[in-house]
């Protein structure tokens, strides 16, 4: 059995490495894309959440829609976790707004007396 020349070995190793890169590159690109989408979702939730906390009702509705769409379109556990956390933020904001509205109504009733 002959081992072959060095040039044949170099060519074989090069072909093997090319196949490895060809198989691994799509996985890396997909992973990078998922990380980018998750980062953008977190930034969107943070920004819209801050606006909603400040009292912007449009931001609250927009945040609600973004979370619904992202949950339905989620491709991984991390995206679902972020969407669920965002839903909790919305529930807290709505709960706080409801309590504030009750306090204002009570104060208005007291001032009317």
Range 89-97 average pLDDT: 84
Least confident range from 68-72, 78-82, 101-105: namely: 101-105
What pLDDT is recorded for position 22?
Answer: 92
Confidence of residue 10 (pLDDT cuts 50, 70, 90): very high
DSSP readout, 85-108? HHHHHHHHHHHHHHHHHHHHHHHH
**pLDDT digit string (tens) for 25-75?**
999 999 899 899 889 888 988 888 888 888 888 888 888 888 888 888 777
């Amino acid at each position: 059995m002959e081992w072959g020349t060095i040039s044949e070995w170099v060519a074989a190793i090069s072909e093997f490495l090319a196949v490895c890169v060809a198989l691994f590159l799509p996985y890396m690109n997909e992973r990078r894309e998922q990380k980018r989408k998750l980062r953008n979702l977190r930034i969107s939730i943070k920004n819209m959440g801050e606006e909603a906390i400040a009292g912007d009702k449009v931001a609250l509705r927009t945040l609600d829609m973004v979370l619904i769409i992202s949950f339905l379109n989620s491709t991984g556990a991390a995206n679902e976790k972020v969407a669920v956390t965002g839903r909790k933020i919305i529930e807290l904001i709505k709960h706080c707004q409801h309590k504030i509205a009750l306090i204002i109504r009570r104060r208005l009733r007291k001032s009317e007396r």
